Structure 1
Amino acid sequence: MRVNQLLTYSTKLQLLLLLGITSFVTGCSQYSTGRLSVGYHNLNAKFNAYVIARDKMREAEIAMCRNRKEDYNQILPILPVLDSLEAQPVGDLLQDVIKKASLVPDRHQNSKWVDNAYVLIGKARLYKGQFTDGIETLRYVNAKGRDEEDKHEGLIWLMRAYVETKDYNSALSVAEFLRSQPLNDKNTRDYYLVKAYLHQQKQEYILALAILEETFDLLPKGEETARIHFSAAQMYDFLEKPQAANVHYKEVFRNRPSYDLSFFASMNSLQNEALTSNDVSTEGGFKRMLNDRKNSDLRDRLYYSMGVIETRKKNYPQAIRFFEESIRQTTTNTTQVPYTYLEMAKVYYDKLQNYELAKAYFDSSLALLPHTSPQFQKITERKDVLDEFVKQLTTIRTEDSLQRLSQMNPATLDKFLDGVIEKEIEEQERKVKEAQKLVEQARTLNANALNFNGDPADRFVLYDPVALNQGKLEFKQRWGNRTLEDDWRRSSKVATLLTQTDNITPVANGQNPVTVGGGDITKLTKDSPEWKAKKDALYRNIPLKKQELDASNQRMEDAYYKLGKIYKFSLIEPENAVKTFMTTLERFPATNYKPEIYYLLFLTDQKNNQDSWKTKLLAEFPNSSYTRLLTKANGSIAATGNLELEAIKDYEKILGLYQNANFSEAYAQLEMAIVTYSGSKIEDKYALLRIYLLGKLQGREAYLKALNSFIKDFPTSPLLPRVREVLEAQQSTSIKKNG
């Protein structure tokens, strides 16, 4: 009896235990809303998935920050750009983040960590460059999320994703929604930073700074905050507010910056002090930093800044010397070189009007400048103008020099050409001696080079005398002695002619150029066949016959005409344009370009003889197309419908050039069309298009001036509300800046 009772009790216990386990398992389902189930999944979701994913994300972000290469020549982005290449070294970590965070929605649907996990997944995908998937994940958080703070965090990252993909309208829409939401402290700080980053990427620096000034109090001390202060200082520098910039440069040092960040903050601050105070000497102020051994690999940047200071002080020769020293001080890090070349090009272009040298330095800068640089496209457009300018200028100088040679008597010319060949031989001998000297210097350094203890792959090739000497010998064996210039690979190079009256270097236009590269000319003698062949080739370049002289004059005439148009429409230098057109008329009175030149002078020479050019055009060429344009401009046929049709047709053509980013050509045609179609019904459209072109070609100041002029010149235009809206937006940003 007792045994049966014990068996019954044991069976009941087993049943109760089985029932308890079944109830526990059923109650812990991820779809259950019971307190026990939710607590269980909250615990597992947090410590078995989310925390691990969060820590791996922090590890990946620290690694990306440590490996990031900043370009201090550009304004640092307020937030680091999401670059998939930068994230490649931590790709496995980011994949682990996605894998671990995905466990939360897969196995713990009823936990409170689902929204956090989705935000982590979205961030990881953005870091990996998977913007479409990342945006979809973050949008899902906003649509299905249950925690408002997590949804706000997801929206902030969604806004940043839109900024990275340059979808600024969507980013602004998200920002406008978040502006009305009650954000916690962390989300408020992150929202302000992304909003400032948005305006910075749109180059609305005034708005970006206004937001940052309200954000700095929310930021913890640390290197990232130092970096944001540095970015703010750079934007103030861009807006030509050095004193405000220096306030933030000083804040950089209070936030534990990296050495590079502190170096550039010190240098930029010192540069601003030198510009705003008469008590600070440029060379004296930088002497301490130049003598600091820790800055040995940054001396090129210091000399660059000293050159910038001298440029702003209008001491251009000294500025050029500092820029040249910057190039000489370059070590293994060559990232500064293209910006130094660019600054030199600007000095020669804007300040010294030496367009040949400006072209050379623009070419050098573009060859090394990253294509992602904001300045790349603008420099490319300016370089294209200079290429054409120098081409025409070289043609004029070449033909002028060759024609002067053609006027010499035969004996003098023959003697002169012998002198040209002799100078070429002397120059070749000088280069050979220099090469031998370099080889000897390399040999003396070989022992030191061979004692290099590090990995040979780590040695910069230009500081390895062995590799450098070997490269020089291989180059010389293949190409011969070549001048450092464009197109050095060509097997045929044109001989250099120097006139006795100047140092013009004309480029020959003959059919048979002289080969001067790749051979040893130092052994030539006057009686040798090679000498005679060289002299004959030089003779062929000189226009000695009438038809050759006519062809030379035609090339010069074309070049003067094209040069004048470049001055007027591309370089926007009306005085030089007038001088060039006048020279064309004086040297070539029978030129076929005369009616167009009269018309262009009528458009350009508005201060002096505008009416006289109009009179000449009407009197000498009454039936030319330019005369008809002039009469149209004066309204003689404005009553007909032909003017309106032609105005619309030309407007669409110019608009097409603008849309294709051919701004210089569009502006050139627009300037003529504005005069031609004065009084037409779409005259205001032409004026508005001109405003946009001025903004592209001449910058913000010209753009604002043109906007104000439009309001005065076209008070009844239907386009006026649009112009006022743009102008008010610009004025509001100025008010915020001053406030």
Structure 2
Amino acid sequence: MSRYFPNRSFLVLTVLASLTGGLISCSQYSTRPISKGYHNLNAHFNAYIIARDQIDAAEQILFKTRQENYNQLLPILLPVDSMLVLPVKPQLDDAIKKASLVPERHQNSKWVDNSYTLIGRARLLKQDLPNAIEVFKYVNTKGTDENDKHEALVGLMRAYVEAGDYPNALNVAEYLRTQPLNKVNTRTFYLTKAYLHQRKGEYVTAVGILDATFPVLKKGESTARLHLIAGQLYDLIGQPNKAVDQYREVLRARPTYDQSFYANLYAIQSNGLTGDQKRVAQSVATFETMLNDRKNADLKDKIYFTMGLLEARSGRIDQAIRLYSQSIQAAGANTTQVPFTYQEIGRLYFEKKADYPKAKVYYDSALALLPKQSPDYAAAVTRKKTLDEFVEYRNTIRTDDSLLTLAQLEPAALDKVLEGVITKREKEDKEQAALAQQIVERASAGNFNAVAGATNSTLPPNERWVLYNPVALSQGRQEFSVRWGNRQLEDNWRRSSKESSESVAATNSPLNGGSAANGINPNAALPTTNDGRGSVAGPETGRKAQKDALRSQIPFTREAQVQANQRIENALYKLGKLYKFQLNQPADAIPTFEQLLVRYPNTLPKPEVYYLLHLSNEQLGKASNWKDKLLAEYPNTSYARLSGRAVAQSTDSEAQAQRIYTAIYELYKANNLTEALARAENAAGSFSGTQVEDKLALLRVMLIGRLKGVDVYRQVLNEFMRDYPASKLLPRAREMQAAANHPTANIK
């Protein structure tokens, strides 16, 4: 044996030397097969797979824990949110570290591009968009595998969408559209592009792309969700039949219970739009089944809401409001649906019943709960602003009318009215205090269910404690503002010395026989300077103090009466314009303007009022002499010119006007704005009655916006809409007005 030992030792040494040499040669910069194989193995199993699985798991967690708002259009892809990602942030950070090991230690492996893409995905989920974009760009520039580059470009497109950079996202999409994508990249590209068009509001394109993606998707919760979104998109573009088909597909795609529930509800709503009365009739039985299903105990508010929606679409407005109210009562602690229900009730009162005070109350309640990121939020704020103005003007008229009426009463009659006001207020205060005490006693006795019943929306609104009744709270805020104006929270805030003239002007009072402080509470009382329960000196002294405070608001002096009449005159003028333009109610504008002229025949805006009366009657198809009065009494005003602008012009005048307009427009396109505006101002008078008069007027508005800023732009836009109510450019002007009223508007 000993003679073979040296040979064995030599063999072992040779093997060890070979292995050592091989390992030494496994540099990450080496191109030798052994080196590349070694680094591929380590990069794949010790870094890439671990990082990939961590990111996949994080995405699954985010998908499973998502909070869907089924009252709105669901996003095709879950938007990235730095707050929602916090639970999986450590997992993503670790994935980034693992993926970073590949380019750090395994440069010659084939997993470098994939690892960079994983880093980009993780940063995208963390909403670290600038770094995600840079990583995806790097892979596209330095990558060696076309599929990896395409995957990075899809990620880049998604990052641009999340950043709101839609032009760059579209550029990437156009490039990818021409590339031979593999199956996985094709699916991801289609979904990302559909998401891009959805974010841009291009719903027709979005649902078309989404529809083309379904054949390559597997059945499951995520696919059921996409079918639900496709149905919503078809509803939005006015194709309810296709929407119903998509909702049926939800039920075939292994949905969750919530998905199937909302698919059924949405299908019923879409059937109501198709006009298929047979399907609508079947919905009644479906609603009964859904309401009786115990699994839907916390979803009854959605069912009642859908029932109300169908009633509203059928023109049964009162029935719809009743069902919407049931939806609010059934909501309980889950208020997700409630603001949208308030908004629908407000819309019905606004559009169908023209009951603007009630509409205001419901819009107030809706905005108190409506998420600011909701697509409906801006429109609701705009409508609420209009309603706020309406209530303000109407309350000013009624309040000052009441005060002027009270000022004419004999002392004994006035004293009797004030006594009635104070008595009524004390009764209301006692009723609210008794309800509050009842709730406290129930809570003290441990009857928490009874307390919940008294405080939540399960009781009718008039039986709920005011602090748990959103409608009553909104009404209370309105009444406070009318009585006191804007007050800081501080000691002695009710002292009369703190009241400005504006708050005194807005102070409410009852008419002789009852005047509305607002449309909800027709017997709202005047303000007091104490708590309404008597002072320390005794009830009679406290009552006298209240009466003195009420009397101090009445305009007994000549000067105070003049100021009250000025407020009424201004409110009538503004209310008439609000009826005419914002509310589009010429039938209400006419008596308002006529009342203004009767009560204040020398009102300053008399020519404009004549003109608006002429337009309102013309809009209703009624004959009137307001145009003749305007031309006879104020022939040299701009309103007289506007009322007669339809006078025929000669062919030469039309041709000249067209040439001047074209020259000004060319200056505008060349960005020579100052010169263009000067020419537009000079040419305005000579364009009267021509076919391009309104075109030049709108071009002037655009020039002013570019040169003089947003505030002036808003003003001249309003003037254009007032002066050219029949112009074909009015829809364009309304779009410009909506953009100008946006909080971030910047014309320059």
Q: Which TM bucket (shorter chain)?
A: 0.7 to 0.9
In the alignment, what sits opposite 1:28?
26
Shift of 1:134: 0.3
Q: Which moved more, 1:58-67 or 1:566-575?
A: 566-575
In the alignment, what sits opposite 1:538?
550
In structure 2, relative to structure 1, the CA distance for the partners of 1:6 and 1:271 (3 Å cut) is closer
Shift of 1:414: 2.7
Aligned equivalents of 2:308 and 2:731: distance in 1? 39
SS of the counterpart of 1:71?
coil
- Alignment map for 1:274-673 (pairs within 5 Å): 274=272, 276-279=275-278, 280=281, 284-446=285-447, 484-486=476-478, 487=480, 491-492=493-494, 497-505=509-517, 514-515=527-528, 518-521=531-534, 528-602=540-614, 604-607=616-619, 612-622=625-635, 643-644=681-682, 651-652=701-702, 655=705, 660=710, 667-672=717-722
Asked whether the 8 Å contact 1:193–1:215 carries over to 2, the reply is: yes
Shift of 1:575: 4.0
- Alignment map for 1:694-713 (pairs within 5 Å): none
In structure 2, relative to structure 1, the CA distance for the partners of 1:400 and 1:246 (3 Å cut) is same
SS of the counterpart of 2:277?
coil
1:427 maps to amino acid: E
Asked whether the 8 Å contact 2:399–2:510 carries over to 1, the reply is: no
Q: Deviations over 1:406-434 (max 9, x none)?
A: 44444333322222222222222333333
In structure 2, relative to structure 1, the CA distance for the partners of 1:652 and 1:667 (3 Å cut) is closer
Aligned equivalents of 1:443 and 1:658: distance in 2? 64
2:574 maps to amino acid: K
Aligned equivalents of 1:344 and 1:51: distance in 2? 54
Aligned equivalents of 2:379 and 2:474: distance in 1? 32
TM-score by length of 1: 0.80
In structure 2, relative to structure 1, the CA distance for the partners of 1:582 and 1:154 (3 Å cut) is same
Aligned equivalents of 2:271 and 2:644: distance in 1? 58
Asked whether the 8 Å contact 1:162–1:168 carries over to 2, the reply is: yes
Q: Structure 1: where are the runs of 5+ without partners?
A: 451-458, 464-471, 679-683, 699-739
Aligned length: 663
Asked whether the 8 Å contact 2:439–2:454 carries over to 1, the reply is: no
Q: Structure 2: where are the runs of 5+ without partners?
A: 457-464, 482-486, 496-503, 520-524, 661-677, 685-696, 742-748
Between the aligned residues of both structures, percent identity stands at: 44
In the alignment, what sits opposite 2:249?
251
Asked whether the 8 Å contact 2:365–2:474 carries over to 1, the reply is: no
Q: Which moved more, 1:321-330 or 1:227-236?
A: 321-330
- Alignment map for 1:197-208 (pairs within 5 Å): 197-208=195-206
SS of the counterpart of 1:297?
coil
Aligned equivalents of 2:146 and 2:74: distance in 1? 32
Q: In structure 1, which of residues 43, 46, 49 is the aligned counterpart of residue 44 of structure 2?
A: 46
Q: Which moved more, 1:210-219 or 1:571-580?
A: 571-580
Q: Deviations over 1:135-159 (max 9, x none)?
A: 1101111111111111111111111
Aligned equivalents of 1:687 and 1:329: distance in 2? 43
Q: Deviations over 1:682-726 (max 9, x none)?
A: xx9x7795263378699xxxxxxxxxxxxxxxxxxxxxxxxxxxx
RMSD: 4.1
In structure 2, relative to structure 1, the CA distance for the partners of 1:460 and 1:134 (3 Å cut) is farther
Q: Deviations over 1:534-581 (max 9, x none)?
A: 223323333344433332222111001111222233333344334422
Q: In structure 2, which of residues 151, 154, 164 is the aligned counterpart of residue 153 of structure 1?
A: 151
1:556 maps to amino acid: I
Asked whether the 8 Å contact 2:529–2:545 carries over to 1, the reply is: no
Asked whether the 8 Å contact 2:62–2:85 carries over to 1, the reply is: yes
Q: Deviations over 1:372-403 (max 9, x none)?
A: 11221222222222211211111112223333
Asked whether the 8 Å contact 1:332–1:460 carries over to 2, the reply is: no
Q: In structure 2, which of residues 119, 122, 134 is the aligned counterpart of residue 121 of structure 1?
A: 119
Asked whether the 8 Å contact 2:28–2:35 carries over to 1, the reply is: yes
1:278 maps to amino acid: Q
1:554 maps to amino acid: Q
Q: Deviations over 1:301-337 (max 9, x none)?
A: 2222222122111211111112222222222322222
Asked whether the 8 Å contact 2:357–2:391 carries over to 1, the reply is: yes
Q: Deviations over 1:472-505 (max 9, x none)?
A: 99x99xxxx9984344887539986443545522
In structure 2, relative to structure 1, the CA distance for the partners of 1:657 and 1:435 (3 Å cut) is farther
Aligned equivalents of 2:265 and 2:99: distance in 1? 44
- Alignment map for 1:212-227 (pairs within 5 Å): 212-227=210-225
Asked whether the 8 Å contact 2:100–2:119 carries over to 1, the reply is: yes
Shift of 1:192: 0.9
Shift of 1:662: 9.8
In structure 2, relative to structure 1, the CA distance for the partners of 1:612 and 1:129 (3 Å cut) is same
Asked whether the 8 Å contact 1:657–1:665 carries over to 2, the reply is: no
Q: Which moved more, 1:306-315 or 1:630-639?
A: 630-639
Aligned equivalents of 1:299 and 1:221: distance in 2? 28
Q: In structure 2, which of residues 263, 266, 285 is the aligned counterpart of residue 268 of structure 1?
A: 266
SS of the counterpart of 1:386?
helix
1:256 maps to amino acid: R
In the alignment, structure 1 residue 185 sits paired with structure 2 residue 183:
yes
Asked whether the 8 Å contact 1:395–1:556 carries over to 2, the reply is: yes
